[in-house]
Amino acid sequence: MEKPNKAWSFSVFLLVSLSLLVFNFAVYGQEKPSGYVGSDACKECHQEYFLSYSKSIHGKKAIPGSPGATQGCESCHGGGAVHIEKGGKGGILAFGKKGDGRIKSAPCLTCHENSKEMLTWSMGRHMSMGVSCDSCHMVHSTTKNNLKALEPGLCIGCHKNIRNQISRQSRHPIQEGKMRCTSCHTPHGGLTNKMLKTDSITELCYKCHTEKRGPYAFEHPPVSENCINCHSPHGSNHTGLLTRRSPQLCQGCHNLGFGHTSNAYTLQHGFGGKATANKNRFFAQGCLNCHGNIHGSNRSPIFER
């Protein structure tokens, strides 16, 4: 993981503490911090945003701790006094503009950082790469979870290479809507590499493919080690989400240079380089015709069907 830049960490810390102070004032002090003018002052010039905010979950006065119950617009945009003084020219936090992601996420985190979902935000790659809350959330809206778009559109807008992978001929049914990116990933960061929902890739796959967990009397070591030794998680041009087709897949590891594992598997080349009675089984899937229970077996040490 990247080390967070100290200067930024400090400014985020400052922003967070400042906003927390503001928050405490709002709840306990019952008075506006200096530089704060209240949402009614914004309404005059920003009718549309006032309306969309009022309808949104954040505008609900009845929810304790919500912007509606505290500083309104200024809970997120910061104090507006200077902004109004200048007749709307700057002086306020604007989200839509390009800018440092950490600064844009800071007001959101003052209220959300202690939720279970957000505990690993600061360890995730989205945070460290400057992706901010408003990259995915559109808070002036009433969409579910205030999301900008539905998955997978939300994610593949930025992740173009994954968009290609999930349209390959063999794929997890993500585009079909049967599962989502967030079935496997945590958008808010995570403790693991690649922001996965589980501690390891294999655990992730077992969640839905429990029958592959075993234990088997005869284990195939690469299976319990890591499913992506052979599979591509998003999609592949080979059947069964395989990284390579057999026999190349198998020969990537079983390449002793002699015997039936590494010889070309044609009519002329069976076991030990000679054709056998079983020669026809070397066609099509090749290795899998005989070693069909490739994930492990309780009766065959060579995983025969």
Instruction: Decide: is 297 part of the binding site for ligand HEC (CB under 6 A).
Output: no
Nearer to ligand HEC, 6 or 178 (CB): 178
Which residue from 22, 102, 216, 234 is in contact with ligand HEC, where contact means CB under 6 A?
Answer: 234
Residue 73 interacts with ligand HEC (CB under 6 A): yes or no: yes
Q: Residues 6 or more apart from 140 whose CB is under 8 A from it?
A: 49, 52, 53, 56
Among 153, 157, 177, 273, binds ligand HEC (CB under 6 A): 157
For the segment 39-68, give every residue that binds ligand HEC (CB under 6 A): 39, 41-42, 44-46, 49-50, 53, 57-58, 63, 65-67
Residue from 12, 15, 102, 121 binding ligand HEC (CB under 6 A): 121
Q: Which long-range contacts (CB under 8 A, 24 or more apart) does 284-290 make?
A: 285/246, 286/246, 286/247, 286/250, 287/246, 287/247, 287/250, 287/261, 288/246
Q: What is the DSSP letter of 147?
A: B
Regarding 181 and contact with ligand HEC (CB under 6 A), the answer is yes
Which CB, 65 or 273, lies closer to ligand HEC?
65
What ranges in the chain are assigned the alpha helix state H? 6-24, 39-43, 47-55, 73-77, 81-85, 101-112, 125-128, 133-136, 153-156, 160-165, 181-184, 201-208, 221-225, 248-251, 259-262, 287-290
- Scan residues 247-276 and list those touching ligand HEC (CB under 6 A): 247, 249-254, 259-261, 265, 271
Number of residues that bind ligand HEC (CB under 6 A): 136
Does residue 178 belong to the site contacting ligand HEC (CB under 6 A)?
yes
Q: Could you give the CA distance from residue 131 to residue 231 in angstroms, rounded to a whole number? A: 29
Candidates 32, 168, 269, 281; binder of ligand HEC (CB under 6 A) is 281
